[in-house]
Structure 1
Amino acid sequence: MNTSRFRVLIIDDSDMAREGMRTILGSDPAFEIVAEGSSGEEALELTELWMPDLILMDIQMPGMGGLEATKLVKENFPYVKIVMVTVSDDITHLFDALKKGAQGYLLKNLKPESWHEYLKAIAIDEAPMSRELAFRILKEFSQYERPDVSESPLTAREKEILGLVAEGLSNRDISNQLNISEHTTKNHLKNILQKLHLENRVQLTKYAYEQGWMNK
């Protein structure tokens, strides 16, 4: 049985929103809320003080907003997973957040069970991108010329898995499609990230496009 707990920092300028997140996470013993803040500036200070595993970050805040705070937190604490929390599913803001280093996003009106499942997947690097987001990333990259690329260090199987990741498939979907175990898929993804010195699925999608493995 996995008894590890994920240390969570909540950053939102709304008292009501923070209370809601406390209630949601408090109903699952897998999460431990270590601190709360109401601005991007506090996000930086509290991350250094508490060294959380996961940050729930509001996008729109007075002063330093969530997007800039995400960029600075990831520059200084690259290991921290950041999930943007928003009332809107505007893909533009969410895409900007992912480009700055966030691992994902949650809508504030989702059921608590959805939060628990998604945040656990984020914390252990198993959360897939939505198909809409994968398409948005491809559309963004297709505006530019592909750079010259060197020979890829990936095996044929790793390239196949990377292509499926870039399409927005989850680890389970990839395993089912390739008829391999989820454990094998996870190990392949770990190897791919290590070989390419990348951190998340957004960066993997960008790499797949640059290599010419995705169609415009």
Structure 2
Amino acid sequence: MNPVASRPVQVFVVAPAMLCWGLERLVQTARPRIELMGTAETLADAMPVLQGRVVADVVVLDLDGGYGPDAVADLQAVFKGRLVVLTSSQDVGLLDQVVVAGASGVVRKSDSPAALLKSIEKVHEGELWINRSAAGRIFVEMARQNVASGNDPDRLKIATLTARERQTIAAVASDASAPGKVIAGRLCISEHTLRNHLSSIYGKLGLSNRLDLFAYATKHRLHKAG
């Protein structure tokens, strides 16, 4: 059994009252897969609720409330789950920065309701919900930032990786925006096994998501299986 799917994905929504009302009813259509844990009209109202304890698996944030990368980074500092931003913005640079700051998914308000529900489930499973063109730009920026940081390679951590974990890293780094099902297929394993491998890799390398893994793999030349 997939442990991720053994209980509903618990969601907290940060959006104006009318949008919260609509999202609450949308989530109700996805029960028992997804469950609404709470709402707040502003990030300022949400922070005390989220700070210091995880009340949800995924936060859905209406980015059009005047929030940007700094707000996303502040939220991620107190909330250790996944973040999906909902927006009507066409500012590609802003949306890229929001993902670099910690958002796992970007959903446009012109997308279908089903797309938002699917994004919630997929980011909860550890995947990214961003389009391919954005992924390319973001991965390059993440790699650039890691190289610029000048951090020394953690050779002891890398040495703990198994051959299969190195193969998994190479598969993810070669196409990090690909769905888990596609990457698992290339490795001839199940999505459940892929998630287990990624969980182990994240733990060993001190990472939390695929963006981090891509940048780490590029910096430390782990993007090729060997």
Output the TM-score relative to the length of structure 1: 0.83
Alignment length, in residue pairs?
211
Distance in 2 separating the partners of 1:90 and 1:50 = 31
Query: 1:23 aligns to what SS in structure 2?
Result: helix
Are the counterparts in 2 of residues 11 and 43 from structure 1 also a CA contact under 8 Å?
yes
Partner of 1:24 in structure 2?
26
Q: Which runs of 5+ in 1 are unaligned?
A: none
Which of the two has greater helix per residue?
Answer: 2
- The corresponding residue for 1:164 is 171
Q: Write the distance in 2 (CA, Å) between the matches of 1:142 and 1:3.
A: 35
Say if 1:4 and 1:184 are closer, same or farther in 2 by CA, change over 3 A. Answer: closer
Aligned match of 1:120: 121
Question: Structure 1 residue 122: deviation in Å?
Answer: 1.5
In 1, the alpha carbon distance for the partners of 2:145 and 2:38 equals 41
Q: 1:27, CA displacement in angstroms? A: 1.0
Q: 2:70 corresponds to which residue?
A: 68
Q: Which amino acid aligns with 2:182?
A: D
Output one character per residue of 1:131-178: Cα deviation in whole Å (capped at 9) or x when no partner.
Answer: 223311233246568344243232333223223323222221112112
> Are residue 196 (structure 1) and residue 205 (structure 2) matched?
yes
Q: Percent identity?
A: 26
Alignment partners' CA distance in 1, 2:13 and 2:109: 13
In structure 2, the CA distance between the partners of 1:195 and 1:115, relative to structure 1 (3 Å rule), is same
Alpha-carbon distance change, 114 to 142 in structure 1, aligned in 2, over 3 angstroms? closer
After superposition, the CA RMSD in angstroms is 2.7
Residues 189 and 134 (structure 1), Cα distance of their counterparts in 2 relative to 1, 3 Å cut: same
Greater mean deviation of Cα atoms: 199-208 or 154-163: 154-163
Query: 8 Å contact 2:47–2:75 — kept in the other structure?
Result: yes
Structure 1 CA distance, aligned partners of 2:71 and 2:103? 10
What SS is found at the alignment partner of 1:55? strand
- Which is further off, 67-76 or 181-190? 67-76
Are 2:14 and 2:39, in contact at CA under 8 Å, matched by a contact in 1?
yes
Structure 2's unaligned 5+ residue stretches are: none
**Partner amino acid for 2:170?**
G
Q: Where in structure 2 are the equivalents of 1:1-216 lying within 5 Å?
A: 4-13=7-16, 15-29=17-31, 30-48=33-51, 51-62=55-66, 65=67, 67-78=69-80, 80-88=81-89, 90-127=91-128, 129-141=130-142, 143=144, 146=147, 147=150, 148-151=152-155, 152-153=158-159, 154-166=161-173, 167=175, 168-213=177-222
Mark the CA change 1:162 to 1:46 in structure 2 (over 3 Å): closer, same or farther.
same
Distance across 2 between alignment mates of 1:158 and 1:184: 11
Q: Secondary structure in 1 aligned to 2:64? A: coil
